[in-house]
Amino acid sequence: MKKYFLLGSFAIITLFLSSCKTSQEVVNKKEPNTEKSSKKNQKFKPYSEVITDEAITDDGLFKTHQIDEEYFYEIPQELLEKDMLWVTRIAQIPNNLGGGYLNAGSKTNQQVVSWERFQDKVLLKVKSYDEVALDESAAINNSVKVNNYEPIMYAFDIKTFNADSTAVVIDVSKFLSSDVPSISGLNSRLRSQYKVRNLDSSRSFINSVKSFPKNIEVKQDFTFNAAQPPSNGSVGSISLQVNQSMILLPENPMQPRLYDPRVGFFTVGQIDYSSKELKADEKRYIRRWRLEPKDPEAYARGELVEPVKPIVYYLDPGTPENLKKYIKQGIEDWQKPFETAGFKNAIIAKDAPSKEEDPEFSPEDIRYSVVRYVASTTRNAVGPSVSDPRSGEIIESDIIWYHNHLRSYRNRYLLETGAANPNARTLDTDSEEIGEMMRQVIAHEVGHALGFPHNMAASYAYDVEDYRNGDFTQKNGIAASLMDYARYNYIAQPGDENIRFVRQMGPYDHYATNWGYRVIPNANTPEAETETLNSWIMEKAGDPKYKFGRQSSRFDPQSQTEAIGNDPIKASTYGIKNLKYVAKNLPQWTSQQTDNYDDLQELYGEMLGVWSRYVGHVVTNVGGVNEDLKKPTQAGTVYSTVDKKTQKESVQWIKENVFDTPEWLIDRNIVKNISPDAYFERLRSVQVRHLNNLLSFDRIGRLINAETTETDYYSALNLMDDVQSAIFTNAKVDVYKRNLQRAYVERLEYLMNEDSRFSNYNKDQSDVQALVRGELKSLQSTLRTKRNRAGNKVNRYHYEDLLARIDLIVNPR
């Protein structure tokens, strides 16, 4: 009863205070709560005994304190239960970790977290916005919460409170120096692959903890004991540096824009249980920066308006002076597409401020996006970004440029354009031309950081013959989008004049930027925007310059990486004709200039890769299916099979350019100066790669599927017959042909016996085994005849070996 009386008295006092309006009285009203908290906190150590005079303190989002090897977070009470984005990246990486698919800067995990007080502990909880009730008033909102209970990543004992109890102090030393799975640099696959046993605590430590106004950055140096490390095997361990970024998310999320697959954007996804649909409604939002016009009225009138907050990229202080101009140009090339979207000066490049200009500037501060120049032998550039999973708002990005990447572009420039482009026939490419290449690569990576994925259909928009037209290429470049993987014009032939060989921004880039970034006045919900967004797509429907092609559509000859032109057969024919010219002159352009064979060896190896890419573009025609993303209101179907004539011509082209030994690739002036052996093995490996690709489960499955939808189709049997004929013709049978014939029999054995669980059909109950068995039986008859007519002992032994192999396949013992 006494407790009840006191609460009642407090309520009366509160009512009295609430009738007074001065700010001082509002402050006084809070004092009893602070005093009460102070009394409650008396069981904890005094602040000064935990955070001693020896502490090195960094003020920011949280105050962080370092005392010897211990680290403490001082978390303001007002930031408890606030959404924060936790991003884990590999900062420094050992050689060959992940087999080349990981690099410094690779993100290993991204999750939303919040710090929450529970009794005498602070819990670090992992939150998810994958499943939500966007209408928080809906009754189902409670069900979403109780059926998506948030896991606790870690629990910390409260060590103390600050003087006025507005912040709680925890020790994060053990947490940040432990192998916590959800923020580890090594996932379960890598641990299994390299047989990782455990974290070696004696060789692991916290490198640094830095606090900035909106984020906290932690670097950890970890060493794991491993039985089979990817490099330095004698050490028996894997060492890497991991960067943990914790970022305060905006209090008010940006209004999302609903994704439409007909326009290419990276996305975030949610399942909305409060939808009025008769199911959980999956929604995808595009990832984009928050651009808002300073003058909304002028913007609505169609005037160019500056954004409230432009996108600014700072150049790494370590960037070579001679390259800064091109990096800045690559960044600001996106100003024109943003003008199409109504924004002026929307994206700006700046030099990083000096210590004197801004002593607090740091590339790790989430407020700054940076083009980082990395001194590394890696040949790559990447454009990662961090986005709010609630809305898709891009918060920050760092473009990463690796020093040796320009060497890749020099080599590709020489190999792919050297026949038609005299300027490319050198190892010392002109600095302005190298700068132009770098400019376009930076612009491409910035495009990723703006939310744009690769658009592999953009290079299919132009006719093959247009690439030989100087006026056309100078105006249009080599693809309708910079976001395609179309690097060089490999189609132009010797004698063609005024040709542009390097990619550039295209019309699709303007179109996609407008679609994703233009503010639609008075559309206050994502759903209110959809009619306008759809109308913009329909205005361009049917025009190949504005088509988006997914990189994942590996069955689609219209959306191929590294391809240019709308006819793979014609484009690859031009490309190989140029490569033959380059191969003949490669020693003159390399070893005869340097007086060593290092560059010749490097470029010869890369030339095989270029040839292989050209071949792969034609292979995709076989069993090819064109994908044209569209809504049901648009005419035509989404998927259409490549016509029979084109498929048959493609197999004939592969016979002539791959299965018939490409002797021009075995130039004695090259191979006898770069390796003592294995010339035949290099060529064999590429030939077999395309043979196996041609006779893949998925490709055969699409050909079988065509029987169900087409009246005149290229069948799986047609492919089997044509490939066998191409490989076992009466042409000269040499070491290369023998290798290929053995590989063919091995591939049929694979199709007969291997598990096809990753294809889209049941192999054992399909036509595949019957077709393979029939082809092997037919081949047996052919081989007996060839064995009896063999002109030399090696070929006779070869045919006998093939017959024995086939017998084991069709009659397993």
In a domain, 627, yes or no: yes
Q: Are residues 37 and 135 in the same domain?
A: no
pTM for the model stands at 0.86
Q: Are residues 740 and 788 in the same domain?
A: yes
Q: Are residues 176 and 38 in the same domain?
A: no
| Predicted pLDDT at 271 | 73
Give 585-613 pLDDT, tens digit per residue.
999 999 999 999 999 999 999 999 999 99
5 pLDDT tier (thresholds 50, 70, 90)? very low
Measured between alpha carbons, how far is 624 from 51 in angstroms, rounded to an integer?
67
Measured between alpha carbons, how far is 558 from 560 in angstroms, rounded to an integer?
6
Q: Are residues 11 and 91 in the same domain?
A: no
| Least confidently predicted of 100-114, 115-129, 553-567, 789-803 | 100-114
| Predicted pLDDT at 338 | 98
| Predicted pLDDT at 361 | 81
In a domain, 225, yes or no: yes
Q: Are residues 28 and 177 in the same domain?
A: no
Q: Are residues 33 and 51 in the same domain?
A: no
Measured between alpha carbons, how far is 813 from 809 in angstroms, rounded to an integer?
9
Contacts for 328-333: CB closer than 8 Å, 24+ residues apart:
329/439, 329/442, 329/443, 330/438, 330/439, 330/440, 330/441, 330/442, 330/443, 330/446, 331/371, 331/442, 331/443, 331/446, 333/439, 333/443, 333/446, 333/505
Measured between alpha carbons, how far is 475 from 673 in angstroms, rounded to an integer?
43
Residue 345 Ramachandran class (φ > 0 left, ψ -120 to 50 alpha, else beta): left
Q: Side-chain half-sphere of 448: how many Cα atoms within 13 Å? A: 18
| Least confidently predicted of 88-97, 164-173, 538-547, 615-624 | 88-97
DSSP codes joined into one string, 441-505: HHHHHHHHHTT----TTGGGGS-GGGGG-HHHHHHHTTSS-TTSS--B-----TT--S---B---
Domain's final residue, options 248, 268, 291: 248
In a domain, 220, yes or no: yes
Measured between alpha carbons, how far is 564 from 614 in angstroms, rounded to an integer?
10
Q: Are residues 81 and 29 in the same domain?
A: no
Q: Which of the two residues, 615 and 23, has the higher pLDDT score? A: 615
| Predicted pLDDT at 728 | 94
Measured between alpha carbons, how far is 476 from 503 in angstroms, rounded to an integer?
9
Q: Are residues 29 and 82 in the same domain?
A: no
Q: Are residues 661 and 579 in the same domain?
A: yes
Measured between alpha carbons, how far is 224 from 95 in angstroms, rounded to an integer?
15
38 pLDDT tier (thresholds 50, 70, 90)? low
In a domain, 198, yes or no: yes
| Least confidently predicted of 84-88, 146-150, 243-247, 557-561 | 146-150
* Total structural domains within the chain: 3
In a domain, 60, yes or no: yes
545 pLDDT tier (thresholds 50, 70, 90)? very high
Measured between alpha carbons, how far is 33 from 25 in angstroms, rounded to an integer?
14
| Predicted pLDDT at 145 | 54
757 pLDDT tier (thresholds 50, 70, 90)? low
Q: Are residues 616 and 743 in the same domain?
A: yes
Q: Residue 21: which domain range?
A: 2-43
| Predicted pLDDT at 20 | 40
150 pLDDT tier (thresholds 50, 70, 90)? confident
| Predicted pLDDT at 26 | 36
Mapped onto helix, strand or coil, the DSSP state of residue 162 is coil
Mean pLDDT of 404-433: 92
Percent of the chain at pLDDT > 70 equals: 89
Measured between alpha carbons, how far is 126 from 34 in angstroms, rounded to an integer?
29
In a domain, 689, yes or no: yes
Q: What angle do CA 41, 46, 51 make, to 5 degrees?
A: 125
| Least confidently predicted of 120-129, 286-295, 380-389, 635-644 | 380-389
In a domain, 152, yes or no: yes
| Predicted pLDDT at 765 | 85
Q: Are residues 621 and 656 in the same domain?
A: yes
| Least confidently predicted of 36-45, 741-750, 804-813 | 36-45
CA of 100: how far to CAs of 97, 318, 373, 807, in Å? 7, 25, 19, 40
Asked whether residue 35 carries a pLDDT value surpassing 60, the answer given is no
Under 8 Å CB-to-CB from 32, ≥6 apart: which residues?
none
Q: Which of the two residues, 399 and 591, has the higher pLDDT score? A: 591
Beta strands at 215-226 and 385-387: parallel, antiparallel or unpaired: unpaired
Q: Are residues 149 and 195 in the same domain?
A: yes
In a domain, 115, yes or no: yes
Q: Which of the two residues, 29 and 339, has the higher pLDDT score? A: 339
Nearest residue to 152 via CA among 197, 97, 115: 115
